[in-house]
Structure 1
């Protein structure tokens, strides 16, 4: 997840990601957009941004069911 400090949407996204990834045992990480110039240029207007396997999955609001599906689809292949 790419986030910025003081972002309430980021806090909401964090809670969803933490829940889903915790239940599925999927590792995840957060990156601070203010600490990475490339991420800042690419995603500033879309914060928070969720990447799955390096590809943009969603931004602004994270849907729990959609994230769960994205994370489990690769496990069954």
Structure 2
């Protein structure tokens, strides 16, 4: 089975986004998932407006394997449980 992928949807200047990314980076080492971040405004400027349209009003958003997992913060207990079930 491949490693889980966690993506954080964010935007420049979002201090909460930076805090959430830090928590996720710590968890990535412990729980062995791949982590990336996507700036929804930069993606929209590059032509992909879908992420900003869907998630832009509640950033940061945590996606687990491409599906919304939590927003505004990391639901650590739920993330642990969902990764264990993979």
For the superposition of Structure 1 and Structure 2, which TM-score range results when normalised by the shorter chain?
Answer: 0.7 to 0.9
Unaligned runs of 5+ in 2: 1-7, 44-48
Q: TM-score, normalised by structure 2?
A: 0.77
2:46 maps to 1:34: no
| Structure 1: gaps (5+ residues) | none
Q: Following the alignment from structure 1 to structure 2, what is the Cα–Cα distance between the partners of residues 46 and 71?
A: 23
Using the alignment, how far apart are the partners of 1:20 and 1:56 within structure 2?
18
Structure 1 residue 52 corresponds to structure 2 residue 59:
no
Number of residue pairs the alignment of both structures matches: 74
Asked whether the equivalents of residues 13 and 61 of structure 1 are also in contact (C-alpha less than 8 Å), the reply is: yes
1:11 paired with 2:23, answer no
**Aligned Cα RMSD in Å?**
1.2
* Structure with greater strand share of residues: 2
Higher helix share: 1
State whether residues 16 and 64 of structure 1, in contact with CA within 8 Å, keep that contact through their aligned partners in structure 2.
Answer: no
Residue 63 of structure 1 deviates from its aligned partner by 2.6
TM-score (norm 1): 0.85
Q: SS state of the match for residue 35, structure 2? A: coil
